[in-house]
């Protein structure tokens, strides 16, 4: 057996897949749950040690024969989390996550220090938003100055896991671009923004060396190998954020393809051979983890809306879908603005969820249930509109995340986007992306010239049975409903800013 392992450490759990690249199939997989620290002020945090415990639990579930056949490892991690590390490699505070909205004031402060939003877009290419890492660093500096002084490295979640595996501190452009500190045009740190963050300290020295896509972050140490049961000395690829690895695991590594993830958060992103900077700031100007760029829109509320609504009505998942399917496209005018966690796009850190458009006739469980599902796609359509406005020619959307399991949600997405929706055969796209990226690195190290596009075409398969195509009548309905949805968002924006 020849195996590459893909580790995906997300918000809710860690998943590991062991990919047999000769047979092109998953030889084994495992998962372990995480806890979450939540507070009313928007705080969302985790202990970094929980990720390591979860990884070790995942590997302990796998037969020794498979683990001993691992030839390389690739790591996917939730983006933007701020992992402050001291000189001994210890994490000195709980990790502020991507979904933490408690640093909105620091975003405004850092933006002003740099010279404003327009200058940010002209310079590094991204706004400083609550989800990103930059404001979390400033928050840490202000709230915990003694701990801040002890910090010797700034890591992202996947970087920390790479360090656990290899003992090396590294970053790569894809995940690093989500800090808001990287100039995405040149894939180098924006030194003016680093100086605005802390004029008295050499912030660049706190950031790990940047490795290029395809290069290894390092090699598995004897210690990590002994704990996990894999061979020591095998390469660990550069890895990336969960969206970057999801792009690899779905085949979004060349122009024309979009990947959309329906999970706790919602994301839509597409590969580009050149930087794409959205002057309106809806699309994040991220780099990919394959040597290109990955413009992306992220909403902080996706399956959150349906899960909250399902809990309210005390329904099971399949039962909820069946109820929502009884309502027509557009839910007879009922709409949900699903800002349960505040929101990142649009930038409403203080946003609240709303149900609008109800009257004596349409206030039913069926309509509210469907409106919850539609709201997730309406939020992501802002991203599709931005892609089209910036000249991206979309031909297909590849759907992943928990929502991809719902036939109704797949059809709603096809109708609202007016594009074919396809689903990869292997559902754990980010973990698979880690395994495929690891295979790419392995081939580069062995002297082969195979590119990531060729590897992805060979190893990412689409489930034709789950493909959905737009229904013309529903498309026309949603064109009208989406305009009404956008009008509600605009009308209520003053309450959320």
pLDDT 10s digits, 377-405: 999 998 899 999 998 889 999 999 889 99
Average pLDDT (472-479) is 98
- In this prediction, residue 366 carries a pLDDT of 98
Contact 487, 432 (CB under 8 A): no
More confident: 427 or 339: 339
- In this prediction, residue 337 carries a pLDDT of 97
- In this prediction, residue 300 carries a pLDDT of 84
pLDDT 10s digits, 454-463: 999 999 999 9
Q: Confidence class of residue 428 from pLDDT cuts 50, 70 and 90?
A: confident
Q: Confidence class of residue 63 from pLDDT cuts 50, 70 and 90?
A: very high
Domains in the chain: ranges and CATH: 3-243 (3.30.420.40), 252-423+467-497 (3.30.420.40)
- In this prediction, residue 484 carries a pLDDT of 97
Residues known to be catalytic: 242
pLDDT 10s digits, 261-316: 998 889 999 999 999 999 988 899 999 999 999 999 988 899 999 999 999 999 99
Average pLDDT (409-429) is 95
Average pLDDT of the residues of the chain: 95
pLDDT 10s digits, 372-381: 999 999 999 9
pLDDT 10s digits, 214-252: 999 999 999 999 999 999 999 999 999 999 999 999 999
For residue 431, is pLDDT > 90? Answer: yes
Percent of the chain with pLDDT over 70: 100
Q: Which two tokens stand for residue 123?
A: 């310079």
pLDDT 10s digits, 7-25: 999 998 999 999 999 999 9
d(CA 210, CA 304): 35
- In this prediction, residue 275 carries a pLDDT of 92
Give this prediction's pTM.
0.89
């Amino acid at each position: 057996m020849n195996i590459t392992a893909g580790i995906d450490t997300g918000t809710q759990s860690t998943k590991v897949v062991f990919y047999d690249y000769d047979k092109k199939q998953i030889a084994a997989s495992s998962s372990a749950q995480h806890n979450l620290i939540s507070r009313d002020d928007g705080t969302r945090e985790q202990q970094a040690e929980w990720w390591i415990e979860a990884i070790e639990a995942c590997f302990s579930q796998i037969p020794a024969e498979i683990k001993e056949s691992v030839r390389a490892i690739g790591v996917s991690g939730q983006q933007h989390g701020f992992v402050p590390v001291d000189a001994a490699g210890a994490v000195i505070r709980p990790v502020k996550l991507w979904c933490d909205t408690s640093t909105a004031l620091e975003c405004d402060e850092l933006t002003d220090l740099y010279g404003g939003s327009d200058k940010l877009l002209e310079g590094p290419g991204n706004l400083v938003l609550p989800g990103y890492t930059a404001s979390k660093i400033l928050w840490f500096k202000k709230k915990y100055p003694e701990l801040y002084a002890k910090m010797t490295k700034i890591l992202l979640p996947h970087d920390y896991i790479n360090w656990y595996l290899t003992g090396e501190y590294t970053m790569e452009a894809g995940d690093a671009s989500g800090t808001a500190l990287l100039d995405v045009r040149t894939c180098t740190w924006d030194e003016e923004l680093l100086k605005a963050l802390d004029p008295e300290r050499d912030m660049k020295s706190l950031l790990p060396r940047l490795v290029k896509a395809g290069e290894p972050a390092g090699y598995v140490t004897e210690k990590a190998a002994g704990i996990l049961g894999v061979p020591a000395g095998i390469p660990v690829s550069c890895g990336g954020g969960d969206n970057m690895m999801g792009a690899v695991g779905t085949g979004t590594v060349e122009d024309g393809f979009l990947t959309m993830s329906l999970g706790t958060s919602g994301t839509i992103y597409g590969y580009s051979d050149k930087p794409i900077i959205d002057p309106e700031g809806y699309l994040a100007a991220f780099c990919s983890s394959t040597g290109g760029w990955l413009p992306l829109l992220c909403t902080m509320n996706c399956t959150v809306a349906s899960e909250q609504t399902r809990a309210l009505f005390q329904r099971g998942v399949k039962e909820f879908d069946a109820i929502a399917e009884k309502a027509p496209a557009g839910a007879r005018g009922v709409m949900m603005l699903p800002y349960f966690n505040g929101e990142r796009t649009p930038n409403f850190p203080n946003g609240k969820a709303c149900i609008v458009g109800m009257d004596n006739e349409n206030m039913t469980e069926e309509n509210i249930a469907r409106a919850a599902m539609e709201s997730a796609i309406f939020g992501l359509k802002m991203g599709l509109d931005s892609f089209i406005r910036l000249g991206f020619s979309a031909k297909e959307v590849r759907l992943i995340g928990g929502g991809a399991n719902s036939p109704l949600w797949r059809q709603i997405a096809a109708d609202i986007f007016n594009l074919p929706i396809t689903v990869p055969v292997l559902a754990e796209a980010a973990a698979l992306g880690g395994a495929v990226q690891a295979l790419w690195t392995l081939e580069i190290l062995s002297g082969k010239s195979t590119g990531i596009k060729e590897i992805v075409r060979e190893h990412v398969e689409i489930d034709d049975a789950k493909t959905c195509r737009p229904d013309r009548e529903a498309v026309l309905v949603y064109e009208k409903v989406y305009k009404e949805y956008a009008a509600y968002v605009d009308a209520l924006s003053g309450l959320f800013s």
